[in-house]
């Protein structure tokens, strides 16, 4: 086997009598303990010998062959990044003032928003140990606000919900979070969202699945995609119009009418009338008014019409 750090051949020692089947679809092969260099070994021991391994872990992060599962295998491929990353995770899980319930509520909001199977698998089990019940779990998985009696938990939920959906905290939520949790806790909460978002990205990009025998989370149906002018296809919910981009052209269907943009020109057909924009000018048969993508008329500076 080739050491992923320095590219040198290493001894791939598999534990005797233990299977090491490679997960289907994974992009980073799971590394056996016997193949690790010194820096990788330091990461491995920090993960397996740290507080995560105390007692009986809530979820599996080492397989029967001793290989790391979930996001931890990727950390071995770049020990200079992996070791600080695992240290940050340990600090967030075991070194903050959040209760276990608060921390798991926050983590599960991130996992559900990003549809991260392994992250949900691990923290659903950890959250149940912390006291989260079936109704709370179902609400978090489906993106609904759970019925939380504790004011701190409600603030944690709302702050993380806003951080994941809007990538920011509004003034009202920030002020409430500082007043309820304290400034230090708000810093920790923002960092927690960033950390678990990073892990979810690793899990997705490297195609990391669940441990053998674990069921997939029952995610709710995907919402209708929103319309986007940058590209791709989607749906504009406020107008009920579908939009798509194919090969550099744009088409928008509105009750039987279509607008397309091809090679810098735009055309929109409405009951036999057509508007086009070519070379920066706009024309509409039967009238001198322009058309704007916002759905209203466009001001014509030469005649003052809107």
Tell me: the pLDDT tens digits for 19-28? 446 566 799 9
CB atoms within 10 A of CB 289: 15
Q: Environment class of residue 118 by beta-carbon count within 10 Å: exposed (0-12), middle (13-18) or buried (19+)?
A: buried
What CATH number does the domain located at 98-205 have? Answer: 1.20.1290.10
Average pLDDT over the chain, rounded to whole?
78
Q: Where in the chain is the domain with CATH 1.20.1290.10?
A: 98-205
Two structure tokens written together for 264: 């810098």
Q: Which residue has the higher pLDDT, 262 or 68?
A: 68
Banded pLDDT at 69 (limits 50, 70, 90): very high
Where does the chain have alpha helices with state H?
Answer: 38-48, 72-77, 79-94, 100-113, 117-129, 134-141, 151-166, 171-181, 183-205
Q: Tell me how far apart the alpha carbons of residues 48 and 66 are, in angstroms, rounded to a whole number.
A: 10
Tell me: the pLDDT tens digits for 39-65? 999 999 999 997 776 778 899 999 999
Percentage of the chain exceeding pLDDT 90 = 61
Tell me: the pLDDT tens digits for 153-199? 999 999 999 999 999 999 999 999 999 999 999 999 999 999 999 99
């Amino acid at each position: 086997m080739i050491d992923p750090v320095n590219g040198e051949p290493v001894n791939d020692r598999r534990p005797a009598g233990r299977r090491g089947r490679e997960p289907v679809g994974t992009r980073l092969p799971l590394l056996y303990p016997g193949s690790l260099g010194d820096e990788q070994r330091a990461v491995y021991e920090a993960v397996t010998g740290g507080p995560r391994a105390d007692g009986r872990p809530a979820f599996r992060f080492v397989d029967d062959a001793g290989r790391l599962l979930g996001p931890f295998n990727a950390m071995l491929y770049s020990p200079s990044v992996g070791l600080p990353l695992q240290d940050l995770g340990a600090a967030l899980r075991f070194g903050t003032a959040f209760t276990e319930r608060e921390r798991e509520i926050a983590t599960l909001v991130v996992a559900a928003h990003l549809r991260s199977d392994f992250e949900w698998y691990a923290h659903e089990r950890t959250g149940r140990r912390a006291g989260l019940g079936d109704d709370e779990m179902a609400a978090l998985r489906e993106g609904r606000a759970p019925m939380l009696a504790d004011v701190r938990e409600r603030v944690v939920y709302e702050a993380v919900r806003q951080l994941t959906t809007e990538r920011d905290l509004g003034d009202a939520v920030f002020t409430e979070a500082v007043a309820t949790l304290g400034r230090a806790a708000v810093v920790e909460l923002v960092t927690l969202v960033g950390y678990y978002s990073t892990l979810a990205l690793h899990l997705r990009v490297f195609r990391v699945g669940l441990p053998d025998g674990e069921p997939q989370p029952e995610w709710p149906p995907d919402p209708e995609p929103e319309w986007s002018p940058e590209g791709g296809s989607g749906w504009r919910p406020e107008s009920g119009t579908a939009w798509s981009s194919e090969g550099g052209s744009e088409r928008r269907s509105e009750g039987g009418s279509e607008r397309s943009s091809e090679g810098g020109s735009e055309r929109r057909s409405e009951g036999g009338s057509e508007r086009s924009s070519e070379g920066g000018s706009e024309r509409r048969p039967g009238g001198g008014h322009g058309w704007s993508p916002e759905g209203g008329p466009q001001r014509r500076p030469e005649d003052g019409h809107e």
